[in-house]
Amino acid sequence: MTKEKIVVIGTNHAGTYAVSTLADNYKQNADVITYDSNNNISFLGCGMALWIGGVIDSSDGLFYASPQSLEEKGVEVHMEHLVENVDTENKQITVKDNEGNTIVQEYDKLIIAVGSWPIKPNIPGIDLENVIYAKLFQHAEHAKELMANEEIKSVAVVGGGYIGVELVEAFKENGKEAFLITDGDVLNRYFDQEFTSKMSERLVAHGIEMHENERVEEILGTDKVEGIKTDKGTYQVDAVLMSVGFNANTKFLSNSGIETNERGVIIVDNQQQTNIEDVYAIGDCATIASNATHKGEHIALATNAVRSGIVAAHNAGGLKISHNGVQGSNAIHIYGLTLTSTGLNSEAAKLNGYNIDSVCVTDTIRADFMPTNENVTIKIVWDKDTLKILGAQIMSEQDISLAIHMFSLAIEVGYTIDKLATLDLFFLPHFNKPENFITKAGLLALNKVLTY
């Protein structure tokens, strides 16, 4: 029996899981071949701040697979090979190897997992030395080197998302003067003002100089970074980390016939298949179905990448399975404060056309007679017309992150806010109250619903 050739372009989170799933389940029917332009795979970029900040001593644990581990599964691995063109009509790709040679590779099934790349703003000074980015292992190495450089005394982080907030903490923990500059409120893509203000206060309390709602206009310097200019001021810094978002790495597909959205993100169905038969796309370069917006969204999270890789691999291998959709669940832990969210915050829900209502509750986690206790704040957003839960946000100095999974599932199954008040939740003083913070939020929400 002639084996199919299944080619995977890109081998980081999504690609690694796709390749491993194919090799573990379908190698009797398919030859699995992968090409990657990098010299390493499976780098957990979400952990780079831990390494840069000295929480962990080594970067070794930030890799969970290697080219060698995939080869041991029978995968044909080509590192430092750049795919330059995809010919979907003739089912072949054109590749430039690390010596400049051109290779034409035929395929029966193709999985595109080329990920995303940090946005490089078009501003003066963007190409100065000591302007750095955060995506690859090499970026983390560069940041680590700068932290060891005694000439680098101050760093500006541009961008108030997860990466920016985590790295500004890491730079401060390295003894650097740290600035955080963002054109909105910090973490406002995921959280409402009740939460973003507390994170901003926590950063300020630990010596971070915060510049929210400021737009960067120029990076100053002759050869190296000497400062940064915004629409509200000029600040002396020795390095700048740009973290203002990511674009999908899909420009090489412009003549392929593969459909992308206005941002260049590949449009896929719930089996990760593109508009072209036998061509799949996964991870940060592809859309993923959101159960909160009921649209294909670009949600660049490692968890989504992993799931999409598994789904695409099984479909390419012959087992038709569908993606459940996602809620964009996420969490961050900074200076002892944990914030976690799922689904839509208030602003995102409004932008998606929902008629919303919400409750926000702050309470202690455990019974008041317990010797130790912490506060927790929870906010739940729902659609007033259907009563379906659209999103939840939770904040505490206690690790309450697992509670968000309940709300993630609630959004996936269409759970309504009126049921939350009587949901069966256990009680034990070590963990919670008889009327715990989730129940209390549910009761307040029910009171609101009864007035509609």
Active site residues: 13, 46
CB 278 within 8 A of CB 91: yes
Residue 331, H or E segment? strand 330-334
Give the C-alpha separation, 324 to 396, whole Å.
Answer: 29
- Within 8 A by CB and 6+ apart from 413, the residues are none
The torsion angles phi and psi of 366, rounded to 5 degrees, stand at -105, 175
Quick count: other Cβ atoms within 10 Å of Cβ 108? 15
Quick count: other Cβ atoms within 10 Å of Cβ 445? 24
Q: At what angle do helices 162-173 and 193-205 cross, to 10 degrees?
A: 10
CB 248 within 8 A of CB 298: yes
- Within 8 A by CB and 6+ apart from 41, the residues are 11, 12, 15, 16, 63, 65, 66, 67, 70, 79
Give the C-alpha separation, 80 to 39, whole Å.
Answer: 6
